[in-house]
Amino acid sequence: MARILLLETAAATLSAALCEDGKVIVSRRCDTPRMQASLAAPMVKEVLDAAGTGVKDCDAVAVSKGPGSYTGLRVGVSTAKGLCFGAGIPLIGIGTLDIIAAGADTAGISAVVPMIDARRMEVYTAVFSPEGERLTPVEAMVVKEDSFADELSRGSVLFTGDGALKCADIIRHPNAVFRPSVPEAADMAGLAFRAWQKKQFEDLAYFEPFYLKDFIATVSRKSLF
């Protein structure tokens, strides 16, 4: 039996879960934005306590590796690496878009396009099959009226994730379906279990989040004095 701790911090929300052989047994979620730094570790403890187990009883830790919130990704990856180092267990990195696609209801859908708000009119996105297979590379895109024209010409396309509504006024194709969502730790269960079976583990010493774009800090215009 593979017991895997799941942690998702790439979005504005925060969630953690525990799964056994790909089936979720405990999950927790906080919808208050930007609470990753203060609540990630306590939420992990809450999940483990609810399951009556500890990190050392887990076979791996899986974390959302990005793209997504720079701060959220740093918190999640550092928390997951610390747990793995302390317990001597492997780390699994799961793409954030893969997690969103895995949690989508794909009934009657021919393609899934998860979108993460990247600010400045951009989204991080890729095209997935209804079964969750990624068909195109992950990219930062400024969505235009004719974006995803090929996919839309072949059937209904589900646009999901927190960047989906950003595009609803731009892509007006009749085959476009918009359902905003956030990535959740519970939706990582199947992906993490398959990665564990294939021993697709990250190098703990060198693993870093997949930011996709360099961080650009904003400078306050207010005078400090």
- For the segment 130-163, what is each residue's pLDDT rounded down to a tens digit? 999 999 999 999 999 999 999 999 999 999 999 9
**Domains along the chain?**
3-96+183-197 (3.30.420.40), 104-179 (3.30.420.40)
Is residue 67 reached through a cis peptide bond, with omega within 30 degrees of 0 on the bond before it?
yes
Q: What is the pLDDT of residue 191?
A: 98
Query: Per-residue pLDDT averaged across 114-142, rounded?
Result: 95
pLDDT value of residue 214: 58
pTM higher than the cut 0.85: yes
Residue 221 or 46, more confident: 46
Q: Is-contact 11 69, C-beta < 8 A?
A: yes
